[in-house]
A and B are shown apart, each in its own frame.
Chain A
Amino acid sequence: MAVLLLAEVVNGQLALDAVSKSVSAVASLGDVHVLVAGQGGDAAAAEAATLAGVSKVLFAGDHGFCHTLAEPVAALIVSLSGGYSHIAAAATSDAKNVLPRVAALLDVMILSDVTAVIDADTFERPIYAGNAIQTVKSSDSIKVFTIRTTSFEAAAGGNSAPVEALGTAAETGKSEWIEDKVAASDRPELTSAGIVVSGGRGVGSEESFALIEGLADKLGAAVGASRAAVDSGYAPNDWQVGQTGKVVAPQLYVAVGISGAIQHLAGMKDSKIIVAINKDEEAPIFQVADFGLVADLFDAVPELTSKL
């Protein structure tokens, strides 16, 4: 029994938080082999080899695997699948793109957003935007799944697993990468930040989101947003916290002007301390907040920022 774990690599860097938590999520299932795909991923492969619990790193450094395009990367994983009982990855947008394609090519089901590994066949995952938790037992020969990493602790470092180089990508002629539009930011990455400050519809405009960003910068926090704020154009899509956005579990989550729709709560309710600032005292966000402040955010947020 061995696990093939697809590593999340961003611009040649290993997404350490996502990968180390995924390694500990699958550690009980057998030997863990981490797959790093993409040209220039040498350093990411070397870093993956330091994670405790990893017995081997497979590095596919061909240019054709860059940008984790689904068609070549799925074909690569299928070509490697013979020796594995499980194929997994952190539930990132890349993995959600690639692994269902892998599963169908292997004629097995996919399990998305696994929050607990019960045994080799049995897994827990949220359904209905986190309104219910389902435990399912798979009868497939290979289990393919994505992992909601906020449910797991990070694996330690200090390991030195061997790194094995793999061959080149076959030309699929299906999709080609054109460009990435990624906002440069000095702030911590949203899914692994210790503190997250999020704004909702109550913030009212893109300009007013500067208030949220100011508080975040004072706290050294990442900035998040509710779906309503993103849909209204106040914040970019990659800030969205919630069932269809990012799932976060920081030490401190500050929700400003967010009512607390269930799909937002699904993305942040595992945070250690939740603070809610909202002028509507009936807002559902107060039902999950450790500290609630009923106040106009346009008064409270500048005051809070100045007093920290």
Chain B
Amino acid sequence: MKVLVPVKRVIDYNVKVRVKADGTGVDLANVKMSMNPFDEIAVEEAIRLKEAGKAEEIVVVSIGVKQAQETLRTALAMGADRAILVTAADDVHTDIEPLAVAKILAKVVEEEQPGLVLCGKQAIDNDMNATGQMLAALLGWSQATFASKVEIDGGAAVVTREVDGGLQTIKSALPAVISVDLRLNEPRYASLPNIMKAKKKPLDEKTAADYGVDVSPRLAIVKTSEPAVRQAGIKVGSVDELVSKLKEVGAI
């Protein structure tokens, strides 16, 4: 089975986000960018499937600006076999919407014919939590979202999902789209030899136009603003003082 893993280049998890003064968005110029953390978990899971003999080939694909090539190289260094870069924007501030991303991915799936798509449940930039579900819809495939455990069992995937009430297990017929949650695994670091080897792995370059997909946004950004700031209150010196303060404000 071939596994396709879409990966997104996003602002690094540890970077403090700054809203641009003119309200047009978040400042991404000269900011450290990395692979979306949820996508790293998806890449790791694909590699583990391959190591367990359940998958033969791992293809990673990224849709966005040219610089996403670095993100793909990271995935290749972790252990993916080859990569596809689909350039769909020139400006690093342009975020391709999940619907357009899903449409391009559906075309890639048509060409590559994977048995499984493993993706992160959401990207930590737009926090939309949508691409996997949208891709499954466009392909008419089953979907298993927010996975914390994945078992491939013949023609189906048995997936334990993190849901509001706890955990839910479902069995989804393959081919399927599985979106992964935080607790599925801990992604490996790429070793130096593997980083060197990754430079020689194949990376195909395409554009959104090659797939005939219109990536123009459906949502116009009216403005981006800082969230309301909550003022710090007071420090109390003891548990007794805390209890009396809480009684004073009627909280207990």
Which residues of A are interface residues toward B (Cβ below 8 A)? 10, 67, 69-71, 74, 92-94, 96-105, 107-113, 122, 126-140, 172-183, 191, 219, 227, 230-231, 236-238, 243-244, 246, 251-252, 269, 272-275, 281, 286-295, 300, 303-304, 307-308
Structural contact, B224 and A134, CB atoms closer than 8 A: yes
B221 within 8 A of A: yes
- Contact assessment for A92 and B164 in the assembled complex, using a CB-CB cutoff below 8 Å: yes
Name the A residues within 8 Å of B236 (CB-CB). Answer: 291-293
Q: Mark B225-241, 1 if CB is under 8 A from A, else 0.
A: 11100101111101110
Q: Which of B147-178 contact A (CB under 8 A)?
A: 148, 158, 161-173, 176
A181 B167 Cβ-Cβ under 8 A:
yes
Is the Cβ of B170 less than 8 Å from the Cβ of A176? yes
For the complex formed, measure the closest distance between the CB of B98 and the CB atoms of chain A, giving whole angstroms.
Answer: 7
Minimal beta-carbon separation of B117 from chain A (angstroms): 14
Contact yes or no, B235 A293, CB < 8 A: yes
Contact B219 A227 (CB under 8 A): no
C-alpha gap A40/B229 in the complex (Å): 44
Chain B residue at smallest Cβ distance from A123? B219
Quick check: A252 and B252 within 8 Å, CB to CB? yes
The winner among B122, B145, B169, B170 for most chain A CB atoms within 10 A is B170
Given A70-B133, A127-B26: A307 in contact with B165 (beta carbons within 8 A):
no
Q: Is B7 an interface residue (CB 8 A)?
A: no
Q: A94-B164, A111-B219, A139-B220 are in contact. Are A308 and B227 (CB under 8 A)?
A: no
Of all A-B residue pairs in the complex, the 7 with the closest CB atoms, nearest first, are A174-B142, A290-B233, A104-B134, A100-B133, A104-B137, A100-B130, A131-B17
Tell me how far the C-beta of B39 lies from the nearest C-beta in chain A, rounded to whole angstroms.
Answer: 14
B239, closest chain A residue (CB)? A303
Interface centre among A128, A179, A236, A252 (most CB of B within 10 A): A128
Q: Give 1 or 0 for each of B179-208: 1 = CB within 8 Å of chain A CB.
A: 001110000000000000000000000000
Q: Are A70 and B143 in contact (CB under 8 A)?
A: yes
- Asked if B167 and A101 sit within 8 Å, CB to CB, the answer is no
Contact A291 to B182, CB < 8 A, known contacts A105-B137, A175-B170: no
27 intermolecular pairs with C-beta atoms under 8 Å apart? A70-B133, A70-B136, A71-B142, A100-B137, A103-B99, A104-B133, A107-B99, A109-B98, A110-B130, A110-B134, A126-B127, A128-B17, A128-B26, A129-B17, A130-B227, A132-B227, A133-B225, A135-B221, A138-B218, A139-B220, A172-B142, A177-B170, A179-B168, A236-B166, A252-B251, A275-B246, A303-B239
Whether the Cβ atoms of A108 and B99 lie closer than 8 Å is yes
Which among B127, B135, B136 is the interface contact of A129 at CB below 8 angstroms? B127
- Are the CB atoms of B167 and A112 closer together than 8 Å? no
Residue of B nearest to A263 (CB): B124
Nearest residue (CB) in A for B95 is A127
Are A136 and B222 in contact (CB-based, < 8 A)? yes
Return the contact of A109 from the options B16, B99, B143, B239 (Cβ within 8 A).
Answer: B99
Min CB distance, B132 to chain A, in Å? 8
Residues of B within 8 A of A128 (CB): 11, 17, 26, 124-125, 127
- B109 contacts the other chain (CB 8 A): no
Residues in B neighbouring A292, C-beta threshold 8 A = 232-236
CA distance A134 to B23 in the complex (A): 9
Give A299 to B191 CA distance when docked, in angstroms: 44
B209 within 8 A of A: no
B52 at the interface (CB under 8 A from A): no
CB contacts (< 8 Å) of B240 on chain A: these are 307
B145 contact from A96, A176, A274, A291, Cβ within 8 A: A96
Does B245 interact with chain A (Cβ within 8 Å)? Answer: yes
| B118 interface hit (Cβ, 8 Å) | no
Q: Which residue of A lies closest to B237 (CB)?
A: A293
- Whether A136 contacts B219 in the complex (CB less than 8 A), given A128-B17, A129-B124, comes out as yes
Docked CA distance A269–B227 (Å): 11
For the complex, what is the distance from the CA of A133 to the CA of B223, rounded to whole Å? 8
Complex: chain A residue closest to B186, CB-CB: A231
Assuming the contacts A132-B225, A180-B168, asked whether A127 and B246 have C-beta atoms less than 8 A apart, the reply is no
B170 close to A237 (CB less than 8 A) = no
